[in-house]
Amino acid sequence: MLAVRSAEHRVGQEERDVRRRERDGGRRHRAEPDRAEAIALCDRPDQWQRKDRDRKALGKGAGGEDEARSAGCAMGLSIRRHIAGDHLPDAVLSLTLSGPILKPVPTAMAEALKNRMPEADPEMLPGEILPGESLPGMGTFAAAALPIRPELGPALDRGWAQLGEPGAWLSGAERVAAVREARAAWDCAVCRERKAALSPYAIDGPHDSATDLPDSWVDIVHRVVTDPGRLTERWCRSVRNAGVEEDEYVELVTVATIATVIDTFALAVGLSLPDLPAVRDGAPPRRREPTATPGPGWVATIAPENAGPGFADFYANDSHFYIRRSLTLLPDEARKFWDVMNPLYLADPRIRELDGLDRAIGRAQMEFLAARASMLLGCYY
């Protein structure tokens, strides 16, 4: 939803522009060069595409659209240095090219700009905060009026959207249903009763399901979401014996976990939970991974020494920890999982406190939060 400040604001913009020009003594406003650069870039999309190719050649990641969008939400004016017309939704483009901001913008964006442009005339930036707002065409997190790191917002949006795409063994519709179940689990009476019980396996009864997924699937999702610390190998075996394929089990765990993680981030920072991902058509390949072998836990995984050329990079940087390996029965799903987790935490946990962290909290503070969250979830690993 675009929140628009009162029409008087726009009507009065010209007057404020005149006042500003008078105050500046006729000097050109500082945004003007950037605006000119942006317009030039938009007129020459080939320039941006070339820059994009250069970035990729240097191994600097996707660049392009994600970078532009992130820059747009995080830096306001810096977007002018990063755009090409076809990379951005109209609303952002309007904002970008407007110089002194003449057009209505989402109020959350306006607030972000206020925070990051202390040199700007506050009267240029309209709006009042509406938590959870985002720009049309942009994801919840990339457009949020919060200082979310540029690599993190798009990763969360991408991870969320992928939950609606066909997976390795589940269809897009089944995956979105699993997301719905992950949310419904928090209000499930049986889950609450189990959580309070000395043993969750002493409580029987159907879950408060939000979908028509098989009961065994619902049970997997609800337990993983609400009481992961008390899952047992015996229960896992019983699920398999009830007819759930090992691969389906791993995908349900992956989907439920990613959904829970992204929802957790949203509620923690005060954003509205994202709408359910759009379901994408297509059949999952349902192909058993030939390089997977049993262990080290209850499900098969791809051991580093068995990883083929298409997957060996997954274990780069000595990332051989079992947690990295845990979901690799479905290699593509494992990659999606880590594509979300790495920017949330650290791509390389070996980094030391004094090596320099691109974080606003210290490594010791991160590790305390990590350990405390794991403890509260009853995780031994």
Partner 1 sequence: MSGRDTGNDYDLAAVTGGGDAALPNGGILNAFVEAVVARDMPSVAAARAALADAMGEAAMVDAAATIAAFNAYPRAADATGIPLEEAKRDLTADLRRELGLDILETVA
Contact status, residue 108 vs residue 145, Cβ threshold 8 Å: yes
Chosen residue from 233, 241, 290, 356 binding partner 1 by CB under 8 A: 233
Decide whether 97 or 220 has the Cβ nearer to partner 1. Answer: 220
Using CB atoms within 10 A of its CB, is residue 179 exposed (0-12), middle (13-18) or buried (19+)?
A: buried
Question: Other C-beta atoms within 10 Å of 256: how many?
Answer: 26
Decide whether 41 or 302 has the Cβ nearer to partner 1. Answer: 302
CA dist 326 and 106 (Å) reads: 41
CA dist 20 and 222 (Å) reads: 58
Among the listed residues 329, 330, 309, 307, the one whose alpha carbon sits nearest the alpha carbon of residue 319: 307
Restricted to residues 312-351, the positions that interact with partner 1 (CB under 8 A) are 321-323, 325-327, 337, 340-341, 343-345
Q: Does 210 bind partner 1 (CB under 8 A)?
A: no
- The least CB distance from residue 14 to partner 1, in Å, is 33
Structure tokens at 81: 């240095």
Structure tokens at 45: 């999309």
Structure tokens at 212: 């028509």
Q: Does 149 bind partner 1 (CB under 8 A)?
A: yes
Among the listed residues 230, 229, 224, the one whose alpha carbon sits nearest the alpha carbon of residue 249: 224
- The least CB distance from residue 109 to partner 1, in Å, is 15
Structure tokens at 120: 């700007």
Decide whether 12 or 296 has the Cβ nearer to partner 1. Answer: 296
- The least CB distance from residue 85 to partner 1, in Å, is 30
Q: Which region, judged by CB under 8 A, interacts with partner 1, from 29-37, 75-83, 145-153, 305-313?
A: 145-153
Using CB atoms within 10 A of its CB, is residue 141 exposed (0-12), middle (13-18) or buried (19+)?
A: buried
Q: Does 361 bind partner 1 (CB under 8 A)?
A: yes
DSSP output for 62-104: --HHHHHHHHHHHHGGGGGGS--GGGS-HHHHHHHHTSS--S-
Q: Does 75 bind partner 1 (CB under 8 A)?
A: no
Chosen residue from 270, 282, 294, 308 binding partner 1 by CB under 8 A: 270
**Number of shown-chain residues binding partner 1 (CB under 8 A):** 74
Q: Does 202 bind partner 1 (CB under 8 A)?
A: no
- The least CB distance from residue 301 to partner 1, in Å, is 8
Q: Does 158 bind partner 1 (CB under 8 A)?
A: no
Q: Does 304 bind partner 1 (CB under 8 A)?
A: no
Chosen residue from 296, 305, 347, 348 binding partner 1 by CB under 8 A: 296
Q: Does 152 bind partner 1 (CB under 8 A)?
A: yes
- The least CB distance from residue 345 to partner 1, in Å, is 4
Q: Does 352 bind partner 1 (CB under 8 A)?
A: yes
